Amino acid sequence: MSILSKNESFSKSVILIYVTRIIGFISGLLSVFLVIPNLASKPEIFGIYTVCISLTIFFSYSDLGFIAAGQKYAAEYFAQKKLDKELEVIGFVIFVLIGFLVLVSFGIAVFAIYPEWIIKDVSLESREISKQLLFILCFSAPIIVFQRFNSIVYSVRLNDYIYQSIDILINVVKIMGISWFVNKESYDIVGYYLFVQLLSFFSAFISIIIATKLYQFSLIDFIGKLRFSSEMFIKTKSLAFSSLLLTISWILYFELDSILLSKFYGTKVVAMYAIGFTILSFCRNMYNTLYAPFQARFNHFVGLEDEVSLLDMLQKVIMATLILCIIPPMVLIFYMEAIIQVWVGKLYLSSVLISDLFVLTIAFSAISIPLSYVLIAKLQNKVLRFSALFLPIIFYLSLWVFHVYLGEKSLAFAKVLTVFLGSCITIWGLYKNVVSGIFSLYFEAIKKMLIPLLLLLICFYLFPAPSDLEFRNFQSYIQLSYLIIPSALIPILFYYFILFKTDILLYLRRKNELEIHD
């Protein structure tokens, strides 16, 4: 029996992935509350740091779409138990990645020499810090190569939890290390960034060694497959082109924010936005964590030509997770002012509206994540390419219009509008080409949410945010947690009771019958 047919094995893998990702989520939360406030103590330098680090997007997306395509076909080869073919496609896409990372590294080196090209009104001290940060980033390309390799090899086997566990341990060290570089006596942001990058390299390298032992392939043999393959190029190029367009589109309307703000408004506005960026990144990671195990699973079903199981799983995923794309964002938006006041202080209260809009943005994006996975698995390239071409036009057009009326906040409003329309395109594309009943499915899920949403409004009324919270005060953190957690959990748990009440009542009835029998 194929491993893919063993639902018990899949469930175990998903549970382990979620456990490690939840722990990783908590470590990320600690990072947000312990690292960011220290770095944000000097807004101008923190703004420069944000701009420089934002250039990592060019590393992250320098594979020209081939990594996404390679991951799909690697998952299919794994499902078909063709290890040699799997390594061949991985070797090809990593080869492409390395080639373009070299070019990106050269480009970042140029910015390191002339930081004023991307940072407005840079002072002498800020220029030196910018140069050092960018040179460190320039030589960080091997980390990206190792991380992409680990991501493909582990995720197609639904063993993400292995390398995630290593990352968690390393992240704890990163969090502990902030006090060594940023404290009352010093503010060595360059030293801290170098420390973080070295730890990331070590973590990724250890994960590669473990993969070779677990999955019984030689690293030397893989290096032999690290080359251009005309067969794999022909196989992956169509989806890679769609992924490339999506990548370019995503960069244009989602990842250039810090650079645009720095160029036109200066680093102080970047610092104001940086809080929203941090919340946006945190929420995006949370939703990627939620849906990540299902991407490989969808590809498995396509590889096995099991259409029924694919659509059945999509239906279950939507019904089980849509509530999580609605309730938590609403809670964050309601308590945002209190969160920012306790987290980074009143100095950043101007970030409240921006952060609210970014949370709304990620909520719209999260709703469409599993749907986009299905579109990619089913090679719906027309929908993917239309979305990629349309959304940047909408973003920059709305940015130009909003700028007249909203000034520096125009970017946040433009992002909300763009991502909302992107989600609409994804849902419509799935409806027209894959699942004709997608709207009925969403309508059914929303009907079950009506009472939980009413409970949420009651929680907001019963648990208003207090006005006496103090910056970085432990008691204030606890007080705020007592408000946020019940407000989110009560409606979510009630929704799951409605969704699974038949199973719950059946279980209780059987348990009662067994007790009577005994």
- Predicted confidence (pLDDT) per residue in 189-243, tens digit: 888 889 989 999 999 999 999 998 888 878 888 888 888 888 888 888 887 788 7
- For residue 1, name the pLDDT band (cuts at 50, 70, 90): very low
Greater model confidence, 351 or 118: 351
User: What pLDDT, on the 0 to 100 scale, is given for residue 513?
Assistant: 56
- For residue 7, name the pLDDT band (cuts at 50, 70, 90): low
Tokens 């200066």 found at: 266
- For residue 505, name the pLDDT band (cuts at 50, 70, 90): low
What would the mean pLDDT of 255-260 be, rounded to a whole number?
77
Residue 5 reports pLDDT greater than 50: no
What's the number of CA atoms in the CB half-sphere (13 Å) around residue 234? 3
- For residue 512, name the pLDDT band (cuts at 50, 70, 90): low
- Cβ partners under 8 Å of residue 96, min gap 6: 63, 64, 66, 228
Which pTM was predicted? 0.71
User: What pLDDT, on the 0 to 100 scale, is given for residue 259?
Assistant: 75
- Across the chain, mean pLDDT equals 83
Residue 2 reports pLDDT greater than 50: no
Whole-number Å distance between alpha carbons of 227 and 205? 20
DSSP class of residue 41? T
Greater model confidence, 328 or 128: 328
Among the ranges given (222-236, 249-263, 436-450), the one the predictor scored with the smallest mean pLDDT = 249-263
CA 286 centroid distance within chain: 7
Residue 423 reports pLDDT greater than 80: yes
Q: Which has the closest alpha carbon to 41: 470, 469, 472, 473?
A: 472
What would the mean pLDDT of 84-111 be, rounded to a whole number?
88
